[in-house]
Amino acid sequence: MSQRLRWRNSRQSLRRRLLTTLLVPLTALLLLNSLITYIGALIYANHVHDVNLVNDTVTLVQMMATKSPDGRVSPQAQFLLEYEPEGRNYFSVFSARHGLVAGNPVLKPPGGLFIDGTRPQLYDVQIERHALRAASIQMANPREPGDQLEVTVAETLRDRRLEARQILLLSIPAQALLIIAAFLLVWLGVSTGLRQLEPLTNQLANREHDLAPIGDAQVPVEILPLTRTIDGLFARLRGMLALHERFIADAAHQLRTPLAGLSVHAERAQASSDQATIKDALNHIQRLILRANRTSSQLLALTRAQTAEHEIGDTERLDLAAVIPELVGQRVHEALAADIDLGYDGPTGPLWIEGDRHRLQEMLDNLIDNGLRYAGRGSLMTVSLERESNAICLAVEDNGPGVPPTWIERLGERFFRVPGSEEQGSGLGLAIVQRIAEWHNARVRYRSGSSGLGLRVEIVFPQARDA
């Protein structure tokens, strides 16, 4: 029981994955929004303090012009200018002739800073490892005509940053509540959206042996690829079941006659004491067993050819000019035993295709078997290769009795045998050739022999692209 629970917990949840996928960006959005809020608050605090700093500088200038004509600053005014609860502020008054008049001697506008007497100039400065924001302005020395005073007021950045953090802390709860509300809405939307899959799930669960397509009606657009993939799977399953049913029907149809014959000749052998009759019955039984064995083998081969589909790695580059002579050579001894002259004719250069060697061998074996069976003793059979534009033609031709033009179009049909043929066959050989050729995207052509006699079967393969 615990193992089953662990297995369920280890399974992936679409709802959990969707919520996690949405929660991570929402959390990142909250952090980004907090950073933007802090930067905005800092910009606002800097603006407010800069305005106050400018006003303090102007106030100091006005005080010096009216109440302190000698440029001196009273201790009370100096205390107010430098007071800060957590540190200190700074000011300075420099005379062009006499140097420092009042304030901190370190606080002096940097060289190259343009200062006029109309509006204080703002800039950043560092004193005693403290970052300061300063405002400087020039004024005429009321005590000495021709002398200029540089008045500077500076303050630390602590208050600015403190106000920015306070604004951020005030905004975070509201933003967090907004993100939580958005997450809850997303969770509700995901749960509601996933419930739309329940009718489809129930529909599939209620099916037993129904492989009809689901269709696109009442299916959300987002899962249409899934349902169409399932429909494709159903179609392949229907095709496989149809092939299996056809195989069973074909096997029952083709094996019924040999099995009936086996029963008859077995009864003959059992009922007779004549050795000649028993031997004849056993000979018939052996031929029927061979026929049933060949029929079952060809039925299996046809089923494999019909169910096979291209998959990655199924095909390879094959040189037919090297493969076909080798396969033909493997059948020479059978042709000699059947008193048939089997030969090969083809170019010396390579002929490349994309194919499967085992399927090519099965196809060529069926073509050669067809010739050995129906061409007749003393016949000539030739396997040839030749180029046709961007294609390669594999042909198997014999000079036997051939096939009347009326029946040529039906060659390749399952279980079709030319009427009047004395040879016993299953009618599956050329059907297997047809299916294997289709697997290779090749065309099959049936013609009379070049001399007007016999049968010529041509398989036209597309040439490999980079050949």
What's the domain range around 354? Answer: 314-462
Q: What is the dihedral of CA 111, 114, 115, 118, to 10 degrees?
A: 180
pLDDT value at position 171?
A: 84
When mean pLDDT is compared across 134-138, 233-237, 320-324, 444-448, the lowest value belongs to: 233-237
Whether residue 295 is found in the same domain as residue 327: no
Sheet hosting strand 391-398, strand order edge to edge = 341-345, 380-388, 391-398, 455-462, 443-448
Residue 60: pLDDT above 90? Answer: no
Whether residue 283 is found in the same domain as residue 323: no
Whether residue 111 is found in the same domain as residue 174: yes
CA atoms of 169 and 146, how far apart (whole Å): 53
The answer to whether the beta carbons of residues 352 and 463 sit under 8 Å apart is yes
pLDDT value at position 460?
A: 92
Q: Which DSSP helix (H) or strand (E) runs through 324? A: helix 320-329
Whether residue 41 is found in the same domain as residue 151: yes
Residue-wise pLDDT tens digits, 179-237? 788 878 877 877 777 676 777 777 676 776 666 777 666 666 667 777 777 777 777 77
Whether residue 376 is found in the same domain as residue 278: no
Among 259, 279, 306, where does a domain finish? Answer: 306
Q: What pTM did the predictor assign?
A: 0.45
Residue 35: pLDDT above 80? Answer: yes
What domain count does the chain have? 3
Whether residue 301 is found in the same domain as residue 359: no
Whether residue 295 is found in the same domain as residue 321: no
pLDDT value at position 427?
A: 65
Residues in a beta bridge with 391 = 388, 462
Sequence-ordered alpha helix ranges (H) in 67-126: 75-82
Whether residue 419 is found in the same domain as residue 337: yes
Question: What is the 3 state secondary structure string of 259-307?
Answer: HHHHHHHHHHHHHCCCHHHHHHHHHHHHHHHHHHHHHHHHHHHHHHHHH
pLDDT value at position 7?
A: 41
Is position 443 within any domain?
yes
Is position 213 within any domain?
no
Among 306, 327, 342, where does a domain finish? Answer: 306
Whether residue 43 is found in the same domain as residue 180: yes
The pLDDT > 90 percentage for the chain reads 6
Is position 3 within any domain?
no
Whether residue 368 is found in the same domain as residue 396: yes
CATH number at residue 456: 3.30.565.10
When mean pLDDT is compared across 34-48, 117-131, 189-203, the lowest value belongs to: 189-203
Residues in a beta bridge with 135 = 122, 153
Task: Name the residue with higher pLDDT: 377 or 242.
Answer: 377
Q: What 3-state DSSP class applies to 467?
A: coil
CATH number at residue 246: 1.10.287.130
When mean pLDDT is compared across 59-68, 268-277, 324-333, 403-412, the lowest value belongs to: 59-68
C-alpha pair distances (Å), 397 with each of 18, 199, 355, 364, 370: 65, 60, 22, 12, 11
